[in-house]
Amino acid sequence: MFNRQKKHSHSILNFFVCLLFTANVMAQSSGKVNIAVMNLEAPDVSSSAQLALSDRLRVELFNTGRFSVMERNQMQDILKEQGFQQTGCTTNECVVEAGRLLGVDRMIAGSVGKVGTIYTVSLRMIDIETGRIMLTKTEDCNCPIEEVLTTSLKNIALKIAGMTSDAAEQPVVRRETVVGEGDFYFTSMPSGAKVYVDDKLLPGTTPLMEEGVAAGTHQIRMEKGYYSGIQTVFLEPNEFKKVELTLVKAKGGLKILSTPFEANIFLDNKPLGLSPQTLTGLDAGEHILKLTKPGYLDLEEVVTIAGDEIKRISIPLEKIKPAKLNITSQPPHCDVYLNNQLQGKTPLAVHDLMPGMVSVKVAHPMFEDWQQTLNLKNGEIRTIEPTLNKRTGNLIIKSDPPSADVLIDGAMQGQTPLTLSGIEYGTHDVVISKTNYQSQQQKIELVSAEPKTISAHLIPAKAKLSLTGAPAGAEIWLNNSSTGRLPLTNYEIDDGDYNIKVKAAGYESFTEAIHVSPNEFKTISVQLNPKSRGKALLRSFFIPGLGQGYQEKKGKAVLFPLMEIGAIVGVYLFNDKYNTAISDYNSARDAYSSAVDQSDIDGYYLQMEASYNDIESAEKMRTIFIGAAVGVWLWNVLDAALFGPATDQQQAMGKADVHKLKLYSDYKNGSGRIGVCYGF
């Protein structure tokens, strides 16, 4: 039972601590001071009246707007949970201890006493962090206890808050003096505002800091242009207070009079009725004011409204007098449009025009339109004589490739890409030509102001290439592309650079770089030389298979180097076995020489005999592979020297090399042999 009650008590405590923390956070974010009020000591009144006086004091302190006041029930629950006895707690030390348990910034404690017919309310504010008394206030009342409840407690709450009793709704500078200084940090939205503290302008604009300000209540005002904001704050001694204001636009008004009356009023294009009229609640700054009335000219002007004032404007309206417009043109008989409405043909006189802006257009099918906007004054007679320019169009001429000559109606105009303006409407002959390209001729019809585009793809003139020589049937390549075989006659190609390669089996290749121009006839004589066996021999003498590669014997070009490498690897492997066998023989011989026991002597002798046999075997195989390496090399040299590749003609006639050259080797009964076999 005890544990359940204890757990329930802890839950209540945690709940109230959360409430207290939330209240503290809300109070700090709003700029209010967290306080708790001890029950007033009132020995001359009943206990119920004492409780009512204490609750009323809490309400009056809260109503000042400066404090976040903890409720009585919340205080009692927290103090009871902590085992703190509130009754009899009158000393400053006891009050500070209670404030720390409650988690507030300051505590209010005091009493209500009576001397004769006068009630005296005494209060003191104690800072919980330092334990010092920040200020004390008293309020006397020669009145019944009911008036103490309704009036005296309100007055002393205002004193504690630094406010006078006759201005509870609007805080003003307090009469009571608070000893000490604090610092201000001012910000505004938008920034860059001027700051006034008690109507004194501070140097600089927001964000701004002011240090060493006397503690107490101050009126803060910020202004930027037509925007302003105001707030009354209380600065505690040694406090660093941030004051942040959102500036709003100041309001003003306009008193509008017109002659005659009942003109339509528009402010910033919004209709606001008829004059005369007084407009209030307008944003300070510039506005567009417009007055209209049938039979009178519209009047529009910019007015500037200052904050907190009504500006008086008296406007006379001018009666409308029709204007007249006389129009003649060169050429004559042009269509006349006023504000896009056809009025007739020139020469033309238009009467009864409304004063103001009028758009004039004079048009003719063969001439460019003439357009102008006129501002006709009230009652004005104006004459205009526009001269129209002949109508022309634009021509855009492109070619691929560019830099082609352009002739229009036989006259040279320039080279592509070309943009021509001022081309008269009608049919024109256009010729586009370029050296070494086929010319193009077109007829074009220019009938509108939209640019007309001509695009010509010029075809290059072809060059012709002929190749003669031997052997017939050799393959011809142009820029790595197979083109044909010898002989090649009048082969058409584009102008440019080419790499020519002619090749045939058994012959040295022919290569040549040429350049051909359009319309050029180029002939090249080609004579391929048969491949030399001497060159093949020289190549194979140094590297087996290299001569066969030169002779286009692809199989042998791969086989010979592989066989040579295999033979050399065999020599290396059996030479390694030979050296190992000698080392084993020497070790067995040394052991045999130093052996004493007959069985050891016999064993080491057998080892010597086995190692000797291994030496002979490895030496024989090494000799065989050395012979193989030499044989492959000789075979490679002989093949390169004796047998050249068959030419294309020989292959076609079936006379390819049919001789068979073979290399053989074997090892049998302790002896090896290697040889070369050639079949005729």
pLDDT score for 430? 94
516, 403: one domain = no
Tell whether 61 is covered by a domain.
Answer: yes
138, 35: one domain = yes
If we measure between CA atoms, which residue out of 623, 639, 625 comes closest to residue 677? 639
- DSSP single-letter state for residue 148: I
Alpha-carbon distance 340 to 127, whole Å? Answer: 83
Dihedral sign for Cα 268, 273, 277, 279, please.
Answer: negative
What CATH number should be reported for the domain holding residue 223? 2.60.40.10
- The backbone torsions φ and ψ at residue 585, rounded to the nearest 5 degrees and listed phi first, read -65, -45
Name 595's Cβ contacts closer than 8 Å, sequence gap at least 6.
Answer: 601, 604
Does the pLDDT value for residue 29 go beyond 70? no
If we measure between CA atoms, which residue out of 299, 229, 227 comes closest to residue 259? 299
Does the pLDDT value for residue 4 go beyond 80? no
255, 245: one domain = no
Alpha-carbon distance 73 to 75, whole Å? Answer: 5
Q: Please answer whether residues 475 and 482 qualify as being in contact, where contact means their C-beta atoms are separated by less than 8 angstroms.
A: yes
Q: What would the two tokens of residue 580 be?
A: 């190992």
If we measure between CA atoms, which residue out of 39, 38, 51 comes closest to residue 97? 38
Write the DSSP string, 223-242. Answer: EETTEEEEEEEEEPTT-EEE
Tell whether 171 is covered by a domain.
Answer: no
Does the pLDDT value for residue 1 go beyond 50? no
pLDDT band per the 50, 70, 90 thresholds, residue 244? very high
Name 319's Cβ contacts closer than 8 Å, sequence gap at least 6.
Answer: 295, 296, 297
Pairing of strands 240-246, 227-235: unpaired
Q: Please answer whether residues 407 and 431 qualify as being in contact, where contact means their C-beta atoms are separated by less than 8 angstroms.
A: yes
Mean pLDDT for the chain?
83
Helix (H) or strand (E) run with residue 57 in it: helix 47-63
Alpha-carbon distance 396 to 419, whole Å? Answer: 4
What CATH number should be reported for the domain holding residue 358? 2.60.40.1120
Mean pLDDT of 566-575: 90
pLDDT band per the 50, 70, 90 thresholds, residue 170? very low
Domain boundary among 202, 231, 249: 249
Query: How many other C-beta atoms are found inside a 10 Å radius of the C-beta of residue 201?
Result: 11
Mean pLDDT of 496-506: 87
* pLDDT tens readout for residues 586-603: 998 888 888 888 888 888
* pLDDT tens readout for residues 537-551: 788 888 888 877 777
Q: What would the two tokens of residue 92 be?
A: 């400053």
Biggest alpha carbon–alpha carbon distance for the chain:
159
Does the pLDDT value for residue 609 go beyond 60? yes
Tell which wins on pLDDT, 276 or 9: 276
Point out the least confidently predicted range of 173-182, 202-211, 610-619: 173-182
Q: Please answer whether residues 188 and 204 qualify as being in contact, where contact means their C-beta atoms are separated by less than 8 angstroms.
A: no
118, 207: one domain = no
231, 148: one domain = no
Domain boundary among 126, 160, 194: 160
pLDDT band per the 50, 70, 90 thresholds, residue 640? confident
Tell whether 428 is covered by a domain.
Answer: yes
Amino acid letter for position 71: E
Tell which wins on pLDDT, 511 or 13: 511
pLDDT band per the 50, 70, 90 thresholds, residue 342? very high
Domain range for 23: 2-160
Q: What would the two tokens of residue 604 be?
A: 């080491």
Domain boundary among 457, 482, 507: 457
Tell whether 309 is covered by a domain.
Answer: yes
Q: Please answer whether residues 661 and 638 qualify as being in contact, where contact means their C-beta atoms are separated by less than 8 angstroms.
A: yes
pLDDT score for 249? 82
Alpha-carbon distance 65 to 54, whole Å? Answer: 18
Does the pLDDT value for residue 20 go beyond 60? no
**Cα–Cα separations (whole angstroms), residue 416 to 437, 444, 453, 456:** 14, 17, 12, 10
Write the DSSP string, 505-541. Answer: TTB--EEEEEEE-TT-EEEEEEEPPBPPHHHHHHHHH
Mean pLDDT of 181-197: 94
pLDDT band per the 50, 70, 90 thresholds, residue 293? very high
Query: How many other C-beta atoms are found inside a 10 Å radius of the C-beta of residue 409?
Result: 12
* pLDDT tens readout for residues 111-152: 998 887 889 999 999 988 778 888 889 999 988 888 888 899
pLDDT band per the 50, 70, 90 thresholds, residue 232? confident
Tell whether 444 is covered by a domain.
Answer: yes
If we measure between CA atoms, which residue out of 319, 496, 334, 314 comes closest to residue 401? 496
Mean pLDDT of 617-645: 86
402, 546: one domain = no
- DSSP single-letter state for residue 330: B
Does the pLDDT value for residue 211 go beyond 70? yes
Dihedral sign for Cα 668, 672, 674, 675, please.
Answer: negative
